[in-house]
Amino acid sequence: MGKPKWMRHLHTINHHKWLVMRHCFALGLYKQGLLHDLSKYSPTEFLPGVKYFDGTKSPHNAERQELGYSAAWLHHKGRNKHHMEYWIDYAVGSKEPVCGMKMPVRYVAEMFCDRVAACENYHGADYQDRDAYDYYMKSKDHYVIHPETKALLERLLIMLKDEGQEKTFAYIRKEVLHNKK
């Protein structure tokens, strides 16, 4: 019969967390690597994650389809600074009611690691370095993100797609994070 859904969901979370931790450690972001996504183990996120788990995509999408929103996602993005949605606030001096705040580069780097790890986790042996860029491009038109944060994230995703993980991680470590953590 196979493993129960809760165990498969837990494995997916643990594997994702391990991948992000490995990437963050490669960048010198040890604390962020250790603390990444701990809220996923809370009942508010874990229980809906089990209910909507299918192993191929985020359970938040299925919860959103059924309820019209994802309580687990709202909880998650409000507690994890590596999500651009954490940094949305009321706009001051703008025509828009809300806008993306500029993210500290250490959280942009963790967001990059998170996106790469999510693609590695869900694509498995079929993972390619262009996957995170392709996924970003499908959704980028509806993101509320600061222009400088957007430019940095896009630059990193393009570099990953064109030049691979080794060169991109070296660039982030040496050029993006150097004295800016």
Question: Which pLDDT does position 96 carry in this prediction?
Answer: 86
Contacts of 180 (CB under 8 A, 6+ apart): 104, 105, 106
Neighbours of 120 (CB within 10 A): 22
Tokens of 142: 């509806």
Does residue 162 belong to any structural domain of this protein?
A: yes
Question: Which pLDDT does position 93 carry in this prediction?
Answer: 83
Phi first, then psi: give them for residue 90, nearest 5 degrees. -65, 140
Neighbours of 90 (CB within 10 A): 9
Does residue 19 belong to any structural domain of this protein?
A: yes
Does residue 72 belong to any structural domain of this protein?
A: no
Q: What angle, rounded to 10 degrees, do the helices at 147-163 and 105-123 form?
A: 40
Question: What confidence tens digit (pLDDT) does each residue in 160-171 have?
Answer: 999 999 999 999
User: Taking 80 as the threshold, does the pLDDT of residue 1 lie above it?
Assistant: no
- Average pLDDT on 31-55 reads 96
Each as own residue / partner, the long-range contacts of residues 83-86 (CB below 8 Å, 24 or more positions apart, any chain) are: 83/111, 83/114, 84/111, 84/143, 84/144, 84/145, 84/149, 85/144
Does residue 141 belong to any structural domain of this protein?
A: yes
Does residue 27 belong to any structural domain of this protein?
A: yes
Does residue 20 belong to any structural domain of this protein?
A: yes
**One-letter amino acid of 2:** G
Question: Which pLDDT does position 2 carry in this prediction?
Answer: 85
Tokens of 74: 């709202």
User: Taking 60 as the threshold, does the pLDDT of residue 181 lie above it?
Assistant: no
- Average pLDDT on 94-105 reads 93
Does residue 163 belong to any structural domain of this protein?
A: yes
- 89, containing H or E segment: strand 88-90
**Angstrom distance (rounded) from CA 145 to CA 158:** 17
Q: Give how many domains the chain has, as a whole number.
A: 1
Question: Which pLDDT does position 44 carry in this prediction?
Answer: 97
Does residue 48 belong to any structural domain of this protein?
A: no
- pTM score, whole prediction: 0.93
The residue range of the domain holding 141 is: 5-37+80-176
